[in-house]
Structure 1
């Protein structure tokens, strides 16, 4: 499993779908927002949690089609399906590799980019914590969507349409945690709900993704 994880991380970086692309997109979103809504600090600080979460969500979405597509093209996916490692384990490793190359860099960069949107200092910790808890769910859900569209040529648009509705609960509670934290309000309820979504996704979706992949490989 470790060898597969290292291989997927290397492939993600070499194929242009690694942390560089996601971070660049995240930065572009954050930089363009003040130009669109104006330089008013009060307005920017109020919308900062939502903008940062939307940027992180879309950055994660960019590289989802590469999770299984590259292995499908060169035949590696068929070999992995016949390997001793269960398909559920393969799916979990690929979701983890996606999070390491896309989600984790966004978590690290979020406080720096939050300064550009005038996010109050009290919200920095909660922003990072919400992204740290929520982005694994984005990767696992995205892996499920990638498994559904692995056999479709140019299925990137379809993948986005399938995955975005599933991302909405994570987006709502993640942004709410960051917003409440920035305003000094209690964050327990949205934080627990965000954690529950992630735990539910990690516990169940690898099995669903594995079942879908087995059907597509027949």
Structure 2
């Protein structure tokens, strides 16, 4: 999918992204500057998820009697994540709204209403609702092609219409590689991509079992 020589695993999955073109004359922000650009909602969600991960990691070392406590804490943490994400999605978002079709730790694949110039950098606010992921990052367009060409390729490879579904106003598909992203956010995306893959594999297995 992406041109990085060591790309992370990526999965097909729909999500929402807001893109704002970054001036070519302006350098990409440092990690510290990127953190300062995050909205309050993204900061809160990121901090909560980090605390949850550290807490649950420590609880794994407890004996089996603590399993009920761990499950309860996971439920409570998910409630907090859902509330924070709901608040975050109500914030006014900057940039053009696009629908994504694939993501991973290296980058994204997006449907866009117009062609994005290759080599252009964008500030991206990314929401993967099912996985409770919300991040701010920067990405560079590395490939773009019209949807008609994508549909032709899908037909050649027998890709289902459902997996290739796109918004009605989208005319182009773009591949975007991350050019500035926090390491913790890469970890979030990698974990989310693995979770999505596991869910997809379970669904396929259930579908095969039902047809046997």
State the TM-score, normalized to the length of structure 1.
0.27
Which of the pair is proportionally richer in helix? 1
Which of the pair is proportionally richer in strand? 2
- The higher radius of gyration belongs to 2
Higher RCO structure (Cα 8 Å, ≥6 apart): 2
